[in-house]
Structures are given as structure tokens and as C-alpha cells.
Amino acid sequence: MRKLLSWTTLGLAVIAAAPAVAGDFPQRPVTILVGFPPGTSTDNVARIIGEDLSKKWGQAVIVDNKPGVGGSMAVSLLKRAKPDGYTLALSATAPLNINPQFNKQINYDPLKDFAYITQTTWLPYMLVTSGKSPITSLDQLKKAALAHPDDLTYSSIGIGTTSHLLMEILQERTGIKLRHIPYQGSSQSQTDVIAGNVDMTFDTVVSTMPHVKDGKLHAIAVSTAQPTPLAPNVPSLQQLGVPNFDVGAWLGFVAPAGTPDAVVHKLHDDIVATLQKPEVRKRLTDLGSEVVTSASPQAFKRFVADNYKMWGDVLKKGGIHQ
């Protein structure tokens, strides 16, 4: 009986202490791993959020860039970090939805190895053609592609990337056939579309809109279900009759699996509070991001799981793998 009482007392003490521990968190610097180089969109978002959290917590928030393997290097390192909330990653669609299903050498399971905290932002994509092209609408694109299968070309920033897979979805849902020309990055991809060497591409709204305004690119449609505030006059593919097309790239915070629930919820609440501040939202919007948060850590995990399945289906249907 004494042992039972001792274990019961200990259990109650641990339960009672958990909220206090979370309430006191953090008591030392927090590191945010970013799988992309300094100056990239993900890095900028991490630094804006980290700056506000540092003020709130009275602790340093360190952004540690670990580029490589399409953003997966940082997530791989996170998997091995101590699950105490002091090492996080601001990750994205590719490392947690696409790469593990495309590259079999990746050594983590996105649905088992991480604790999900909250989504932070959403990056809509835009379908564009060259400003020199006579194709200025989706109807014109479809007619040309159906009349001459595999003649029209599209660029991407690489095989298995979001820009590649978005075009796979478009072809599957419209019945058109296009020829893929992969590049090593967005700059090369867009440059050849602008020059008229390639017919079209999908890229982020923030990177394409300056060229649309200059007349170097034609904006055909955005990839989200509704027009984005970042390009309010550009219709969505779904509005133009492409069914169930609501796709983009997301960013969100994750921690190692086993991070205490109380700490995960504290991180969720603090990050969401930061993202609700008008000055933070403006800075993120100016980067070309839509601020989107998760109602709870569980809701974010469901969102990632749903997207994991969706991207997996695209990869399987297209026979796309490394």
C-alpha cells in the first residue's frame, strides 16, 4: 500500500508539475533549424517569427541554417535532437510531404518522428506563360495542348519539386500532355520562360508577379481554391473549371517526437500569438506569404498527413522517384 501511495503521489506530482514546466518554458535559448540558405523565404519567415518570440520569452532565438537535400537535412537533424522544445525546425512541404516519398534514402518518417506545432504561412503558386506567347488564358493553353500533345513545354525547379508536381496534377485533371524541362532553380526556370524558350511554368506568386506586372509573363491562374490577396485579379484554376485544385506550399514548426505535450501546446500558443500581431503579419505578407495558423497541434498533424497522402498519390500516378 505504501508503494502504491508513493507511486500515486509521484504521478500526481509529475502531472501537477507539467503545466508549471510548460509555463516556465523557455529558460534558455531556443534554436530553429532551417533547411534552406540565409535569405530564402523560409529563412526570412523563421527570423521574423524568431525575433518576436525572443522579445516575448526574454531568451535568444537562434536560426541555424542547415541547407541540403531539398530542405531535408534540417529535419533529419531535428529527428536526433533532444525532445525538450529547445530545438525546433521551420520546415515545409518538400521536406515533410514530398522528399521522403521521392527520395528513398531519406531516413525519417514524417508521420512518426516529429511533434507538430503549427502551420505559419501558405505560399500560393501561379501558372504563367511567356509574355511573348499567344497563350494568355487556360482555355487557349488547353486547346493548344490538346491539338498538339507533348509539343508544349513547361519548366520546373527540378524533378519531384512542387513546381513539377503541380503541373502533373494539372495534366491529370485537364487531360493535356506537356513536355517537362527541369532546371536547377527558379531563376533559370523563369528566365527561359520569359525568353520564350519554354512555354510555361508554375512558380510562387511572389516570384512571378513582378514579371507579370512588367509584361514579361502572362498570369494564367493561381493554384489555390480562391484568388490570393497577393494577386487578387488573377483567377484560380478551380474557378476556371479545374476540379479540386487547391494546392500550394506551406511552412510550419515541428519538434522532435517525444516533446512533452504541454511544451508543444505552449509553443503553439506563443507562435500563433506572434502571427496574430499586425506588424508581424505585414512583414510576412510583404515577403509574399499568406499567414495561416493551425487551430491546434493535432490539426496541424492532420493537415500534414492529408497533404502527405495527396503528394504521394501524385508521385505514384506519375511514376516519379529518384
Q: To the nearest whole percent, how much of the chain has pLDDT over 90?
A: 87
What CATH architecture is 28-123+248-318? Answer: 3-Layer(aba) Sandwich (3.40)
Burial class of 6 by CB neighbour count within 10 A (0 to 12, 13 to 18, 19+): exposed
Helix or strand (DSSP H, E) at 273: helix 261-275
pLDDT of residue 5: 37
pLDDT tens across 233-285, in order?
A: 999 999 999 999 999 999 999 999 999 999 999 999 999 999 999 999 999 99
Dist. CA 46–CA 31, nearest whole Å: 10
Which residue ranges does the chain devote to CATH 3.40.190.10?
A: 124-222
Residue 162 pLDDT more than 90? yes
**SS3 label, residue 114:** strand
Residue 294 pLDDT more than 60? yes
> Mean per-residue pLDDT for 144-168?
95
**Ramachandran angles phi, psi of 245, nearest 5°:** -105, 95
Q: What's at 310, amino acid-wise?
A: M
Q: What is the pTM assigned to this prediction?
A: 0.88
Dist. CA 87–CA 84, nearest whole Å: 7
Would you state the cell numbers that stand for residue 18, as one nine-digit string? 507539467
End-to-end distance of the chain based on CA atoms, in angstroms?
A: 60
pLDDT tens across 214-227, in order?
A: 999 999 999 999 99
pLDDT of residue 21: 57
Give the pLDDT band of residue 7 (cuts 50, 70, 90).
Answer: very low
Is 26 in contact with 85 (CB distance < 8 Å)?
Answer: yes
pLDDT tens across 72-83, in order?
A: 999 999 999 999
Name the average pLDDT for the chain: 92
pLDDT of residue 187: 87
Q: To the nearest whole percent, how much of the chain has pLDDT over 70?
A: 93
Which residue ranges does the chain devote to CATH 3.40.190.150?
A: 28-123+248-318
The CATH class of the 124-222 domain is: alpha beta
